[in-house]
Amino acid sequence: MPLTRIKTTAIDHVFLSEFLGTVASESAMLALVGGIGDYAVRSDLNNDSFIITQNNGSSIGDWQKISNTSTALLKSENLNDLPDAGTARSNLGLGTASTTAATDYATAAQGSTADTALQPTNNLNDLNDAGTALDNLGFSAFGKSIIDDADAAAVRTTLGLGTAATTAATDYATAAQGATADTALQPTNNLNDLGDVSTALTNLGFSTFGKSIIDDADASTVRTTLGLGTAATQNADDVKSGIATIMAFTI
């Protein structure tokens, strides 16, 4: 189908809409030249918009209020014909953040971390006393009892430490030495603190007979204690010779 150019005069005015301008009174609005669909703004009525709904707008009955343009985006405030980007942002209701980079802000992960971070209500600057501050920092009652100690000695006392806590490991016996001590002569078997020699000898393992030997004055007394006869002191050769002599006399 061939295209046909249509004359402008052949198009009914109702299909076109034109902004007729801003006026400050009703009489000025009625003086505008327009047709159905054309509209104007009344600055004296808080920038309300009025559109021609019938005839040519020369009568007040031809007009109808359609909106308050103080908040509407008018053709004159369209983004295409604005003098600068700032005005465009204002018309779109954008804030100052619209011109900043995403890297200027925390990530979602950082935001989650911030949710559990030390909040202003737990800050130390606005607390009334040190105890509350320490509680917010996680100190237990015992922890607080340590940090106010004046010196190391006071801390050791708080911890219940004895005097050995400040000595060197070399001041004490080793584990091996301790094991040896377990089988060593104990104080109850010591000789220094015994009341008599007999008890000492008993602790040393002497029997009654053994004790009867060690107090003998000489070898002869020991032989007597042992019940030995005079032959005990003879040489074996002398004994043999005597036996042989006896046997010779007998024969």
**pLDDT mean over 84-103:** 83
Residue 155 burial class via C-beta count within 10 angstroms: exposed 0-12, middle 13-18, buried 19 and up: middle
**pLDDT mean over 150-159:** 90
Q: Are 20 and 2 in contact (CB under 8 A)?
A: no
Residue 4 within a domain: no
- Angle (CA) 68-73-78 rounded to 5° is 150
Measure Cα distances from 10 to 4, 20, 38, 55, 66 in Å.
Answer: 13, 22, 18, 18, 28
- Residue 171 is classified by DSSP as G
Residue 142 within a domain: yes
Beta strands 39-42 and 63-68 are: unpaired
pLDDT of residue 186: 61
Nearest to 37 by CA among 25, 24, 19: 19
- Three-state DSSP state, 66: strand
- pTM (global) more than 0.75: no
**What residue has token string 């043999």?**
240
Computed over every residue of the chain, the mean pLDDT equals 77
User: Distance (Å, rounded) from C-alpha 228 to C-alpha 219?
Assistant: 11
Q: Are 19 and 75 in contact (CB under 8 A)?
A: yes
Residue 212 within a domain: no
Residue 81 within a domain: no
More confident residue, 36 or 248: 36
Residue 172 within a domain: no
Host domain of residue 21: 10-75
Beta bridge partners of 49: 41, 67
Q: Collect all residues with Cβ–Cβ distance below 8 Å to 49 and sequence separation of at least 6.
A: 39, 40, 41, 42, 65, 66, 67, 68, 69, 72
Residue 192 within a domain: no
Q: In the listed set 108, 141, 158, which residue is the last one of a domain according to the structure?
A: 158
Q: What token pair was written down for 158?
A: 């708080």
Name the domain count of the chain.
3
Q: Which amino acid is at 129?
A: D
Residue 98 has pLDDT above 80, yes or no: yes
Residue 128 within a domain: yes
Residue 105 within a domain: no
**pLDDT mean over 136-154:** 87
Residue 34 has pLDDT above 80, yes or no: yes
pLDDT of residue 52: 93
User: Distance (Å, rounded) from C-alpha 77 to C-alpha 49?
Assistant: 14
What pLDDT digit, counting tens, does each position of 59-74 carry?
A: 999 999 986 554 455 5
Q: What share of the chain is helix, strand, coil (3-state, %, to 5)?
A: 50, 10, 40
